[in-house]
Structure 1
Amino acid sequence: MLSNSIATRDIQSQIHPQTNLDQHEKCGPVVMASGDGSIVTDINGKSYIEGMSGLWCTSLGLKDDRLAKAAARQFDTLPYYQNFAHRGTEPAIDLAAKLLEISPVPMSKVLFQSSGSEANDTAVKLIWYHFAAQGRPEKRKIISRERGYHGTSIASASITGLPHLHTDWRLPLDGFLKVTCPHFYREGRPGESEEAFSTRLAQEIEDLILAEGPDTVAAFFAEPAMGTGGVVLPPAGYFEKVQAVLDKYDVLMVADEVITAFGRTGAWWGSQTFGLKPDLITCAKALTAAYVPLSAVLISEPIYQTMLAQSRKIGVFGHGYTYGAHPVACAVANETLRIYDEDGVIDGVAALGERMESVLAPLRDHPLVGEVRGVGLMWGIEIVSDKDSRAPFLAEEGVPAKIQDAAFRLGLVCRALGNAIALAPPLIVTPEQIDEIGRIMNEAIKEVKAGL
């Protein structure tokens, strides 16, 4: 009765993001009640391996006493204070200094928000502000990739390259441009090498900049490894070639590290794993291991200098959020970063990633699997209807979603993203749990194949 009552109240009262609302009225929610490490348990007592770290974010699992105590200490000391107009708190100051210390490239300042979408919105505003301060207000167009994901607010959804975030929202906004997704398996041409593919995509970006006019193009947004687009890794030489084009036309590079920062790829930053040299970095999710909301934008010195000049001119930096640099969130983030460092969490990701590869690699032989790809603890399984032609199933067949649902019934949370099944367990997942992930995925795919 309890679960039915909760389900009924949910259907009557709550909107669920990224959910078919009509279907939700028929099936209702699965209500989670507790978590411990990489395991989450629903109100009926069934447990699941949380193979997606929530939304790529619960990097330290679902029950870390150090994070709970860090939050409690800050609640007892100073539960909230704003950072407008020369105010500050020690946790925020310490966190900003730490992020600058560990940044993958030299950065000057940190600006805090509460979500990845807010961070990417803020990055767009700072880019526009930067060029306006230089007397180039027309330099404001933003380039990003098809299948890239950068958030669901108005500006961040405009950067995003997923059609379902645009349909009937009248998005993207004008001036948000798209180029080819760097997925070699899907977008590479017959006989084309990865290097040649990267050269072609870099040339596509240069051609677009020239067609639009270099004086109108401000920035290029990229996830070091694409997450919600289906776990897409950059092909050989991609970012080096793209960076050369951006530098040639004074186009800023923004690394969206909302998913990839803090160990997900096996390094502190995805930019380190894949060789990005960004002018701005956005991060969130694993910054606090998702225990409380917090995001940050890391800002290079040239951009900060134009912000400084604008403050002299206007009299104030006209941007900010009520909960930016929230002291409890910053206290939890500081403790999270200490755990990553002191407990060797990030150092351990490489071996866990190798374990993931070893248990998922046999799936490549399955007739429904076209590709298994990944890095660190971020993996994608490409589902195909035909291995030779690489043809995907029709969207209305919903085969990846059926695999996702079968895995869930078997006790594993994974996520169907387009033609792929994504897996991104917490960074503290055990080798035995990884083995179970491989076993369940194999069983789920076989079950769906048998029913086709």
Structure 2
Amino acid sequence: MAMDGDTRPNDLSAFWMPFTANRQFKKEPRMFVSADRMHYRTSDGRAVLDGTAGLWCCNAGHNRPKIVEAIQKQVAELDYAPAFQMGHPKAFELATKLVDMAPEPFEHVFFTNSGSESVETALKIALAYHRAKGQGERTRLIGRERGYHGVNFGGISVGGIVTNRKMFGTLLNGVDHLPHTHLPDRNRFVRGQPEHGAELADELERIVALHGGETIAAVIVEPMAGSTGVLLPPKGYLKRLRDICTKHGILLIFDEVITGFGRLGSSFAAEHYGVMPDLITCAKGLTNGVIPMGAVLATKEIHDAFMNGPEHVIELFHGYTYSGNPIAAAAGLATLETYAEEGLFARAAGLADYWADALHSLKGLPHVVDIRNEGLIGAVELEPIEGAPTKRAFSAFLKAYDKGILVRTTGDIIAMSPPLIIEKEHIDTLVGTLADVLRQID
């Protein structure tokens, strides 16, 4: 252990990094030291074009003045206020603004600190809602293969990415999974939503037949699955899922931690696809990734089911020390104002075709086996190296960084989701550089 005054500034061993090949990184660190709008600056002075909006979260780009100023002002005014039995104005103001921008059925907001916490909160609200309605036998939760719902126990239980699950025991009981919607043999190189696969929603009827619909509390899906490699919902799939849930009294939860706040050109994917769930989880773009914050949007029906009994009694025994944190709320308000003032959601929608054209220009390059896109999200899937899965995409990621662009990999898929302030010349640079990388990797 270091003695007082010995900070060991160049020792990388203490930080056990998340979702990182720690040994590889610490041999050849990749360090960002500053950022502005579309670019990061590395410790060796290079500019790196942000092709991932940080981690799907910096939708308005970096170092945005309104957000910076709001945080600076708030920390000097009110740094913390308890959220249990007390409040502060900005949390209520932010909740109201979120409700105003959300689709019509959503009238209430529960604040969390991350997407993972939003998922746990939504699952607990779903279970508690049915109990409040006198249907406590509804305890089963349904997720989907290849789904990503954060890293807490509820999220990895309903999630369907095997590497996120297999090391952590038996997880929650009473969980089933729908099949994923990725049908490469039928939908390869499709722009936007694929034509084939809506019938996969009917697998929910099989699960209902197996367990009885009266035992199922909720189905949770990403309307567009992001972290697993950008899997688009087939046309009609989400509507079919909604109808089956309604038929059997099952709550439908959309995990919009990635798709919320303009990523697909609308406030939320529920609007984009025209299908309304009962609960929406969000985070990331809520504060532009600057301060940790998440939220669950709930309909009036769900909220009001809890508002019974004596008024002095707590209705939902759930929450976090930092729910609605003042500094996070200030950042959220400034972020939503930035989106509105600059018309960033409409801007993303307006660039979607140019983005799609650029991405699909990569078809035919070495190792490219599929390309998928929606809004300002894209994925380039590579043929894996036999016996060394993920290595080809990771090599592409490293070479892309060396060439001045930041992309993301999941398995052998390169994923991109740039800030909504991106210009066409940035798209040209991002995709053009990626094309050079693909020509050079083995």
TM-score category, normalised to shorter length: over 0.9
Structure 1 segments of 4+ aligned residues over 4 angstroms from their partners: 186-189, 193-196, 310-316, 392-395
Matched ranges for 1:288-327 at <5 A? 288-309=287-308, 315-327=314-326
Matches within 5 A, 1:263-412: 263-309=262-308, 315-384=314-383, 394-396=387-389, 398-412=391-405
Distance 2:415 2:185 in 1: 16
The superposition leaves residues 243-281 of structure 1 with CA deviations (integer Å, 9 ceiling, x where unpaired) of 111111111111111111111011111111122211111
Kindly state the Cα deviation for residue 315 of structure 1 after the two structures are TM-superposed: 4.6
Please show how residues 33-432 of structure 1 align to structure 2 within 5 Å: 33-85=33-85, 87-185=86-184, 197-199=197-199, 201-309=200-308, 315-384=314-383, 394-396=387-389, 398-432=391-425
Q: Name the CA distance, whole Å, in 1 between partners of 2:194 and 2:53.
A: 31
Query: Is the CA contact (8 Å cut-off) linking 1:100 and 1:106 kept in structure 2?
Result: no
Residue 397 and residue 135 in structure 1: after superposition, are their counterparts in 2 closer, same or farther (change >3 A)? closer
The count of corresponding residues between Structure 1 and Structure 2 is 431
AA at the equivalent of 2:230: V
Aligned partners of 2:47, 2:21: CA distance in 1, in Å? 24
* 1:9 partner letter: D
Amino acid at match of 1:146: E
Aligned mates of 2:355, 2:134 — CA distance in 1:
51
Q: What SS is found at the alignment partner of 1:396?
A: coil
Distance change (3 Å), C-alpha of 1:435 and 1:413? same
Residue 233 of structure 1, CA deviation: 0.9
Q: CA deviation at 1:137?
A: 1.9
Following superposition, the deviation at residue 194 of structure 1 comes to 5.5
SS in 2 for 1:9: coil
Paired residue type of 2:405 = L
Contact 2:222 2:255 in 1 (8 A): yes
One-letter identity of the residue aligned with 1:21: N
- For residue 17 of structure 2, what is the aligned residue in structure 1? 16
Q: 1:233 to 1:322 in 2, by over 3 A?
A: same
Can you list the C-alpha shifts for 1:98-144, whole angstroms capped at 9, x where unaligned? 11111123123111011010011000111111111122222121111
CA shift at 1:298, angstroms? Answer: 0.8
Partner Cα distance (1:316, 1:161) in 2 = 32
Instruction: Indicate the SS of the match to 2:252.
Output: strand
Cα distance in 2 for residues equivalent to 1:406 and 1:74: 41
The answer for unaligned runs of 5 or more in structure 1 is 386-391
Q: Compute the displacement of 1:42 (Å).
A: 1.2
| Partner SS for 1:128 | helix
Distance 1:310 1:413 in 2: 53
Q: Any idea what SS the aligned residue of 1:173 has?
A: coil
CA distance 1:218–1:195, change in 2 (3 Å): farther
Cα displacement (A) at 1:406: 1.7
1:439 and 2:440 correspond? no
1:200-241 deviation per Cα after TM superposition (whole angstroms, max 9, x unaligned): x12211101211221211111111211101011111111111
Kindly state the Cα deviation for residue 299 of structure 1 after the two structures are TM-superposed. 1.1
Counterpart amino acid of residue 15 in structure 1:
W
Amino acid at match of 1:443: D
Q: TM-score, normalised by structure 2?
A: 0.92
Q: Residues 301-321 of structure 1: CA distance to partner in whole angstroms, max 9, x if unpaired?
A: 221122223676965531111
Distance, in Å, in 2 between the alignment partners of 1:343 and 1:47 is 24
Give the whole-Å Cα distance in 2 for the aligned partners of 1:394 and 1:180.
26
Cα offset for 1:331?
1.2
In structure 1, distance between residues paired with 2:314 and 2:349? 48
- Structure 1 counterpart SS, 2:306: helix
More helix by proportion, 1 or 2? Answer: 1
Letter in 1 for 2:79: P
Distance 2:310 2:124 in 1: 15
Change (3 A) 1:89 1:419: same
Supply the distance in 1 between the matched residues of 2:16 and 2:309 (Cα, whole angstroms).
40
Change (3 A) 1:441 1:188: closer
Alpha-carbon distance change, 338 to 313 in structure 1, aligned in 2, over 3 angstroms: closer
Contact 1:120 1:282 survives alignment (8 Å): yes
Cα RMSD of the aligned pairs, angstroms, is 2.1
Bigger mean CA deviation after superposition, 117-126 or 373-382: 373-382
Conservation of the 8 A alpha-carbon contact between 1:257 and 1:269: yes
User: What secondary structure is seen at the aligned counterpart in 1 of 2:168?
Assistant: coil
CA contact (8 A) 1:133 1:306 kept: yes
**1 CA distance for matches of 2:252 and 2:34?**
40
Percent of matched pairs sharing the same residue: 31
